[in-house]
Chain A
Amino acid sequence: MEQLRSTPLCSRHEALKALMAPFGGWNMPIQYEGIIAEHKWCREQAALFDICHMGEFLYQGDFAAGGLEDVFTFSVKSIPIGRSRYGFLLNEQGGIIDDLIVFRLAEDKAMVVVNAATSDNDFMVIKSRLRGGEFTDISADTGKLDIQGPRSRDVMIAAFGDGIAQLPYFKFTTMEILGSEAIVSRTGYTGELGYEIFLPAAKAGELWDLLLNDGRVKPAGLGARDVLRLEVGYSLYGSDIDEATTPLEADLEGFVNFEKDFVGKDALLRQKQQGVMRKKIAFEVIGRRSPRHHYEICLAGEAVGNVTSGVFAPMLGCGIGLGYVKPEAAVIGAPLTVLHDRISMEATVCQLPFYRGGSLRS
């Protein structure tokens, strides 16, 4: 069995008596005080997440000539310097190898941020598609902390000054933090106002301590992170999207630019023409039961699909979930039954996001 990797903050999590568990090959904190308490703190104050496990790659060179421009489902060239963009790395069949974000650092420099579990494979695949430029895996040297919640801007200003005060959503800035160059991006995975901070891994511990020193900040683990992201309808790679799923099936066509070339484009165009065989839906449970991965979805007594993610949503007081069903069942308002063993719950197909009250655009 392969050894689990640890982030630079592992000993701090253990000191806080976090419940640790393997995630994507890493030993990660699932919860500290408790998932519901941490979720609440994020929605009301500022929660701090150790996200050092995610992967980061640096590309230096001409995007078009080097081939980076054709790698993802979006154009890197057209990202304004200082902004980032979300999209996919696809295989030849249009299946999602990973969902990721690319930061345009300079005219000819970009940072690709990928999921932890797929990081090594992502690097290999992207590198194999490039014909020029310099492409390096900087994951081991890069730490990442997410601070998310309505108080997060005030916390960041108190710690680092006014520099980020006016930073708009999906923009980033480079600044000095603890004597090192850091990227502070106004992005996140919670639906709240927040920042993702990239800095040298060696400084991650000091930054963690500094931010936790602020009484408005508490640590939150991957358990709370999963509830937060699902409440605002974000997919999780490995659960809701995977290599056997296309962006069309995942209802994420908006992040695919058909005006340019990319690996998997032909397959997607064919699928667009033929129609998808299954479609991702969002559904809200009538009651407090939680749908879970693999539970069966039925419509009028017929099995039509499966749940891929589900939780109890504290902001709504009911269960919520994502799943894939036959296209005929993917209709807003359709009354579903979600089943597993003796468990049964009624649910209704709905639109995303489930929860709209977040401070994301504050």
Chain B
Amino acid sequence: MSTYFTKEHEWVKVKEGIGAVGISEHAAHELGDVTFVELPKMDKIVKQFEVLGSIESVKAASDIYAPISGKVVKVNEALNNTPEIVNESAEDAGWMAWIEIADESELKNLMTSEQYEEFLKTL
């Protein structure tokens, strides 16, 4: 299963038409200790690169943008009480939502893992 990344440091992993999304390890590290996650509402319809939710850390508050268009079908409730999971495992246990993908061809607008690694070097 491939992971794709946005310029705003969100990731999406696709499986059977569902995209699990979250923020990258890099973003989590830059943010510092995460203290609050605003998860999207269930059934929310999002467009690629539109605001999906938000995240706060000791340092800053940041919007999270949807890496792919679709409908929110699941959210990671654990992050409501234990947002620090994002720091521990941003690209795995720290997933934020599952999106039922509207158009899988939108993945071409994103970076692959290798491209994201290269992108990080330019920052």
Contacts and interface: CB of A to CB of B under 8 A. Distances in A.
Nearest to A19: B32
A203 interface: no
Interface stretch (B11-19, B53-61, B112-120): B53-61
A343 B36 contact: no
Given A292-B61, A312-B56, A343-B61, A34 B33 contact: yes
A290 interface: yes
Interface in B71-118: 83-84, 87
Contacts of A292: 61
A343 B54 contact: yes
Nearest to A289: B36
B40 to A, nearest CB: 13
A289 B32 contact: no
Contacts of B59: 223
Nearest to B83: A288
Given A289-B56, A290-B61, A35 B36 contact: no
Interface size range of chain B in the complex: 10 to 19
Interface in A316-343: 340, 342-343
A352 interface: no
Contact of B32 (A34, A288, A340, A342): A34
B24 interface: no
Contacts of A36: 33, 35, 58, 84
A31 B57 CA distance: 14
A312 B32 contact: no
A35 B33 contact: yes
Given A36-B84, A343-B61, A290 B33 contact: no
Contacts, number: 41
Contacts of B51: 342
A227 interface: yes
Interface in A278-328: 287-290, 292, 311-312
Contact of B35 (A37, A223, A290, A342): A290
A342 B84 CA distance: 23
Contacts of A34: 32-33, 87
Contacts of A289: 36, 56, 61
Interface string A24-64: 00000001001111000000000000000000000000000
Contacts of B54: 342-343
A288 to B, nearest CB: 4
A292 B56 CA distance: 11
Interface in A255-291: 287-290
B72 to A, nearest CB: 18
Nearest to A224: B58
A343 B36 CA distance: 12
Nearest to A227: B58
A227 B32 CA distance: 14
A31 B35 contact: no
A37 to B, nearest CB: 8
Nearest to B32: A35
A296 to B, nearest CB: 14
A207 to B, nearest CB: 28
Interface in B33-72: 33, 35-36, 51, 54, 56, 58-59, 61, 63
Interface of B: 32-33, 35-36, 51, 54, 56, 58-59, 61, 63, 83-84, 87
25 contacts: A31-B32, A34-B32, A34-B33, A34-B87, A35-B32, A35-B33, A35-B58, A36-B35, A36-B58, A223-B32, A227-B58, A287-B36, A288-B36, A288-B56, A289-B36, A289-B56, A290-B36, A290-B56, A290-B58, A292-B61, A312-B36, A312-B56, A340-B61, A342-B51, A342-B54
Given A37-B33, A290-B61, A292-B61, 13 more contacts: A35-B58, A36-B35, A36-B58, A36-B84, A223-B59, A227-B58, A288-B56, A290-B35, A290-B56, A290-B58, A311-B58, A312-B36, A342-B51
Interface of A: 31, 34-37, 223, 227, 287-290, 292, 311-312, 340, 342-343
